[in-house]
């Protein structure tokens, strides 16, 4: 087959047929059929969606894993691409179509080199990254057993094609979600003194929360607290009984994550007490910090410099459930340039696009990194 033409077509097909988290049944079947057609063995799994496959032989050396996420987002696509989503309200608005296609391409390339591979390569086509549950399901299913290192990446629209961004240590943030329900006593708007005003209390809580980052964290520490959604009331002359708001916390260390959670809870409760309202707080833990192993990062940089311009990137306050793998085994997560045009649409936007040319840098990233990691892990000195 003509490699570039074939894999661009695969990526366009996957982009046009997005499936959201934990619903990637047709995507899973499509990936399975492609891998089997190239003679790549599929690993039996308890996972409902996603694919685990293997190339090489563990008797020859170490086992490493390559991971790509496969889920899409519940977003109505507005790109006008010829291969736009045919599943209305679902879109590969984060580039996971690129990710899984590049791992398919790497699988095809590595299969051609299988006899010369100095170890085993486990391919993880992971479901449900966007809901932060997919990586843990892979771990629970036992697919990291005997794996010595794991490699992943995310496309980065702010970086030009031909650029790979790396950094040792934290590269993406720990993510927490919060939901807060405020309970007061509703009353007629003409007699506010006969109730307890949840609108005033909620406004004060949200305003006070803005002091958490500026007055509790060093200006040199990256942290984010964003309130993104609030609801209260339904008419002009009634003060409601309840209000609701939600949002996210982002941090780059276990210590700061715990401090951020504690200050959030303290301020919500203490401000609520001032206004004599009750609050119900729900903190939902997302993935931890995506933290790159220093030694592995050196080796990945060594491999990446043979195929692209490598830069040290600033950490991103976005989150990534690849971090759950890194809690279990050492790993490296990179950013691969996928656009680089000024003001290119960012992740999760309805007009988000990636360049087809980025696909081939990503394929080479997987292949080159595989070869150099197997070599170094087999002969660490």
pLDDT in tens, 24-79: 999 999 999 999 999 999 999 999 999 999 999 999 999 999 999 999 999 999 99
Superfamily of domain 3-172+289-378: Zn peptidases (3.40.630.10)
Summarised one tens digit per residue, pLDDT across range 165-190 is: 999 999 999 999 999 999 999 999 99
Q: Any idea where the domains of the chain sit in the sequence?
A: 3-172+289-378, 174-285
Q: Are 182 and 203 in contact (CB under 8 A)?
A: no
The CB density around residue 207, as the number of other CB atoms within 10 Å, is: 11
pTM of the complete model: 0.94
CATH number attached to the domain at 174-285:
3.30.70.360
Residue 154: which pLDDT band, with cuts at 50, 70 and 90? very high
- Give the β-pairing of 290-292 and 169-172: antiparallel
Q: Which helix (H) or strand (E) holds 243?
A: strand 242-251
Contact 256, 217 (CB under 8 A): yes
Which residues neighbour 363 within 8 Å (Cβ) at sequence distance 6 or greater?
Answer: 7, 102, 105, 106, 109
Instruction: Please tell me the predicted confidence (pLDDT) of residue 176.
Output: 97
Cα–Cα distances (Å) from 166 to 37, 170, 357, in that order, read 34, 10, 20
């Amino acid at each position: 087959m003509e490699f570039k033409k074939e894999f661009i077509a695969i990526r366009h097909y996957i982009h046009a047929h997005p499936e959201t988290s934990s619903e990637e049944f047709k995507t899973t079947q499509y990936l399975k059929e492609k891998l089997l057609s190239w003679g790549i063995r599929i690993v039996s799994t308890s996972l409902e969606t996603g694919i685990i496959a293997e190339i090489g032989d563990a008797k020859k050396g170490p086992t490493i894993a390559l991971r790509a996420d496969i889920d899409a987002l519940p977003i109505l696509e507005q790109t006008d691409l010829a291969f736009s989503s045919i599943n209305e309200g679902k879109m590969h608005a984060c580039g996971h179509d690129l990710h899984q296609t590049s791992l398919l391409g790497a699988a095809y390339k590595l299969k051609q080199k299988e006899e010369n591979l100095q170890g085993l390569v486990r391919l993880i086509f992971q479901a449900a990254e966007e809901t932060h549950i997919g990586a843990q399901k892979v771990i629970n299913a036992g697919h990291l057993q005997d794996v010595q290192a794991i490699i992943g990446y995310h496309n980065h629209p702010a970086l030009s094609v031909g650029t790979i961004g790396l950094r040792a240590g934290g590269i993406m943030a720990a993510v927490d979600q919060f939901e807060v329900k405020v309970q007061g006593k509703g009353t007629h708007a003409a007699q506010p003194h006969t109730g307890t005003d949840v609108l005033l209390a909620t406004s004060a809580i949200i305003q006070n929360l803005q002091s958490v980052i500026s007055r509790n964290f060093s200006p040199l520490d990256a942290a984010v607290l964003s309130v993104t959604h609030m609801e209260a009331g339904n008419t002009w002359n009634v003060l409601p009984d309840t209000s609701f708001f939600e949002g996210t916390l982002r941090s780059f260390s276990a210590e700061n994550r715990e401090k951020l959670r504690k200050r959030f809870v303290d301020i919500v409760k203490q401000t609520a007490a001032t206004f004599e309202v009750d609050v119900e707080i729900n903190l939902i833990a997302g993935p931890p910090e995506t933290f790159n192993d220093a030694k592995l990062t050196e080796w990945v940089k060594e491999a990446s410099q043979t195929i692209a311009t490598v830069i040290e990137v600033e950490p991103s306050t976005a989150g990534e459930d690849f971090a759950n793998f890194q809690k279990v085994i050492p790993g490296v997560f990179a950013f691969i340039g996928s656009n680089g045009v000024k003001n290119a649409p960012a992740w999760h936007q309805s007009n988000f696009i990636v360049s087809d040319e980025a696909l081939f840098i990503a394929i080479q990233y997987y292949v080159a990194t595989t070869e150099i990691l197997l070599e170094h892990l087999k002969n660490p000195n």
